Chains A and B, each alone.
Chain A
Amino acid sequence: MRDFLSRFLAGQESTLYEPLRGWWVGHGLPAGVLVVAWGVLVAAAVVAFVLVTVLALVWLERKVSGDIQSRLGPARVGGRFGVLQTAADALKLLLKEDIIPARADRALFVLAPLVTFLPAIMVFVVLPFARRWVPADLDVGVLYVIAISSLPALGMMMAGWGSNNKYALLGGMRAVAQLMAYEVPLVLAVLNVAAYTGTLSTVGIVEAQRTGWFIWNPALAPSFLIFFVAALAEVNRVPFDLPEAEAELVAGYHTEYSGMRFALFFLGEYTYLFFVCAFGATLFLGGWQGPLLPPAVWLVAKSYALVLAMMWVRWTLPRLRIDQLLSFGWKLLLPLALANLVFTAFWAVR
């Protein structure tokens, strides 16, 4: 058993599925039921992990910002360090009245938080926590991430339009303009990795880093920087938090949202924040690889390092203006990403 556990933690064993399947089929039970039940179980595990991570991230953000701003941050709920503060806040949001503005477009208004939140969870399907600890090792994993991660902007536009509020609309339009401008350099940076490794599988990309993380590779290091900056914009964080710029647009696309619907936007934002960092760690920081500790711990630790960097940026910098943001994306980041790709294609790939 201990032997099994250590192999399990090392990510070598495809979890418990194989032995379970043998037992199940051996008793003459239908295999199809197990496949479905197993899928549900894995999905539940991923969602549980994501939700706990988000709670932790929100708490961490409040503690980090508190520290940067020479205050304490949460310090009452759940002991001296306020660890239960976000749980309490989530509970409060759950219990709040569900308000839909009278003149909102109900269908869009109700759907928008889901359209924003669900893709943020869906992308976790291809995130490898260890060699076999990946819900689905798709051949087109990277492509899948790129496709799914464009969806939240749709949700923001839906929220902006459906709220029937001009601030929300401005926020929604900003979200789309910003996504267009930064999705392209982001994709190019990711493609650069794919071109270098010759695979679109996230597991394959991590395996290719066995000899060295891509962040140290001269052809791919610029891609990491481009990825990091574009990712900041993708997750709408300072200095790119324009879609919800508080000082200008009140709360941007989610101005009219409250209670659980607001919480879904919030959850989606932090889920996506964690995913983007985990994805960056997978692509450039060697993913799950690392000595001594179990692979999943390595991946989570690397992701948190990137998350902390993003938090540091957020609580330090002021916000850009929309035209500055767009010209930075289109006129600087995009040519850089293209040049980087061309360099990789002609010189770095043998």
Chain B
Amino acid sequence: MTAPPAAIQPESLPRLVGEGIALAASAQGPVLTVAPERLHQVCAHLREEPDCCFDFLADFTAVSHPEPLRVVFRLWSTAHSRHVQVVVPLGSEPACPSITGYWPAAGWQEREVYDLFGIRFPGHPDLRRILLAPDWVGHPLLPGEVAAPELGPPLEPTPGALGPDQTVINVGPQHPSTHGVLRLVVTLSGEEIVEVDPVLGYLHRGIEKLAESRTYAQVIPYTDRLDYVSGVLNNWPYVLAAERLAGIAVPPRAEFIRVVLGELCRVASHLLWLACFANDLGATSVFLYGFRERELILDLLEEATGARLTNSFFRLGGVPYDLPEGFADRARGAARVVRARLQEYDSLFTRNRIFLARAQGVGVLTAEQALAWGVSGPMARASGVAQDVRRSDPYSVYPELEFEVALEKGGDVLARLLVRMEEIRQSLRIMDQALASLPPGPVMAKVPRQLKPEPGDAYAHIESARGDYGVYLVSDGSPHPARVRFRSPSFANLQVLPLLAREWKVADLIAILGAIDIILGEVDR
């Protein structure tokens, strides 16, 4: 097991300090403040220096309030398991050199920051709006900007350059297999994929903007609406970040309850994924089976939290109620059923020859690609990236619990399925342990009715059902967070779709998209 070395800073960092580059320490690792013109020098250092090796772009965003407007990004080193935060303050003509050359994952992230903050990124290959409509006027996360829609003159559709025998087909936003309102503009040659351009934002509700006008506690219910199939796993990074910001210690019993419910949500989410994925491949019955088993989990969640889908159960400082009486036994019973049914799935689906022909070797993502593109979670682990936030940057009581990080080498659609299947088993195992070692005591810390954290920022990330799920919070000392940023794993993972789907067939596009496991609520936010 790895120790949490988050606060240890690479030795070579102080060497960087000079004109335009400052170094500070924070509870969550070193913070580099860099002038835009020095950014590429810093990036090269952070990427290449052996004691840095920051190979994973964990988060990328901007903060406009309090002044100055700045780009903030956070890198993670898989080799050393530690973070570094880079802050790039910008002037009145906001422009920041693109870092896509170092971390391709920044591609969509920079588009998002451009979209919401109007910051330009010279060097970006394709700087378009991503979440808002292309004819939107203004940048809603700038201070003083109203979030009301104001549209410019309608844009004429631009005919793209098509080769001979090529056609463009819109998969979505209304399509059975986009699992929500995702739109893929697909260029086809016959049935073969030439290019895929995901168009996002059909489910963009401006939750980050909304959060700015709520109190810290009021933000929690919004988080469930992001990844709406794994309820409390959304609450978790937010309350974790807020607790770090305000220095709240959570009682141990609450931590264990959080683990139990979090793992249940992970199981429910993976079962739902399995169901929909099987349906994408035409195995209609597995679809119903997945839902049948998920029902058991949802019943448990309903019993514990009062809600089946958007639980909103975590509070700043713990959880509001203890687990109901007899919950542990019923949870163990459900776990037994799910474990037994997993074997049925294996014989019906995972070992089915037709399924194997559809999944093996399809949409291969290498470990290097996964890291470079910021892919995390089961998808990265299917490519052999042994990263699981529960182990690599432990939070809550995970260091006390025994479990294996599911890992596959294939990097294909099949590997993604196998990883998730194993994760269901491991999650049930974690849940069992957490229920067995539930300590006595209160479930809520003493928290002031209205939280007013000191000005500052905090970042927390957890392993959600889809990957590395982070929340970056900035406080200006008022009861309202100055900035709430959700680093959603689906958004980052979806970015590799064009890379994976090229030269495969339409049917494979559906399989590959399904195996990424996106939730549009989280992609569009």
Residues of A within 8 A of B (CB): 65, 68-71, 166-167, 170, 238-239, 241-242, 245-250, 314-324
Contact = CB atoms under 8 A, between A and B. Distances in A.
A170 B352 contact: no
Contacts of A245: 282, 507
Given A248-B507, A250-B176, A319-B354, A241 B282 contact: yes
Nearest to A321: B507
A70 B289 contact: yes
B281 to A, nearest CB: 4
B281 A247 contact: yes
Contacts of A238: 282, 284
Given A69-B288, A250-B175, A318 B510 contact: no
26 contacts: A65-B285, A69-B287, A70-B289, A71-B288, A167-B169, A170-B191, A170-B506, A239-B282, A241-B282, A247-B176, A247-B279, A247-B510, A250-B176, A314-B284, A315-B284, A316-B285, A317-B282, A318-B354, A318-B358, A319-B281, A319-B283, A319-B354, A320-B357, A320-B358, A322-B191, A322-B505
Nearest to A315: B285
Interface of B: 167, 169, 175-177, 191, 278-285, 287-289, 292, 348-349, 352, 354-355, 357-358, 505-508, 510
B507 A322 contact: yes
Contacts of A323: 505
Contact of B282 (A71, A167, A247): A247
Contacts of A167: 169
B176 A317 contact: no
B292 A319 contact: no
Contacts of B285: 65, 68-69, 315-316
Q: Which A-B residue pairs are the 6 nearest by beta carbons? A: A319-B282, A69-B288, A318-B283, A318-B281, A247-B177, A247-B280
Given A170-B191, A316-B348, A248 B510 contact: yes
A71 B289 CA distance: 10
A318 B355 contact: yes
A65 B506 CA distance: 27
Given A245-B282, A248-B507, A319-B283, 15 more contacts: A69-B285, A70-B288, A166-B169, A170-B506, A239-B282, A246-B176, A247-B176, A248-B506, A317-B282, A317-B354, A320-B354, A320-B357, A321-B507, A321-B508, A322-B505
Contact of A65 (B177, B284, B349): B284
B348 A239 contact: no
Contacts of A321: 357-358, 505, 507-508
A322 B282 CA distance: 13
A317 B283 contact: yes
Contacts of A324: 357-358
Contacts of A247: 176-177, 279-282, 510
A70 B284 contact: no
B43 to A, nearest CB: 41
A69 B279 contact: no
A164 to B, nearest CB: 13
Nearest to A316: B285
A320 B357 CA distance: 8
**Most chain B beta-carbon contacts within 10 A, residue among A247, A250, A318, A324:** A318
Contact of A239 (B287, B349, B354): B354
A241 B507 CA distance: 12
A318 B282 contact: yes
B507 A318 contact: no
A8 B281 CA distance: 49
B352 A317 contact: yes
A305 to B, nearest CB: 21
A250 B178 CA distance: 11
Nearest to B356: A318
Contacts of B510: 247-248
A242 B354 CA distance: 14
A317 B279 CA distance: 11
A69 B282 contact: no
A217 B401 CA distance: 63
Nearest to B168: A166
Contact of B349 (A170, A318, A320): A318
A242 B507 CA distance: 9
**Most chain B beta-carbon contacts within 10 A, residue among A167, A315, A319:** A319
A233 to B, nearest CB: 13
Nearest to B169: A166
**Most chain A beta-carbon contacts within 10 A, residue among B283, B285, B352, B357:** B285
Contacts of B279: 247
A39 B169 CA distance: 49
A305 B282 CA distance: 23
A249 B278 CA distance: 16
A69 B505 contact: no
B349 to A, nearest CB: 7
Contacts of A322: 191, 505, 507
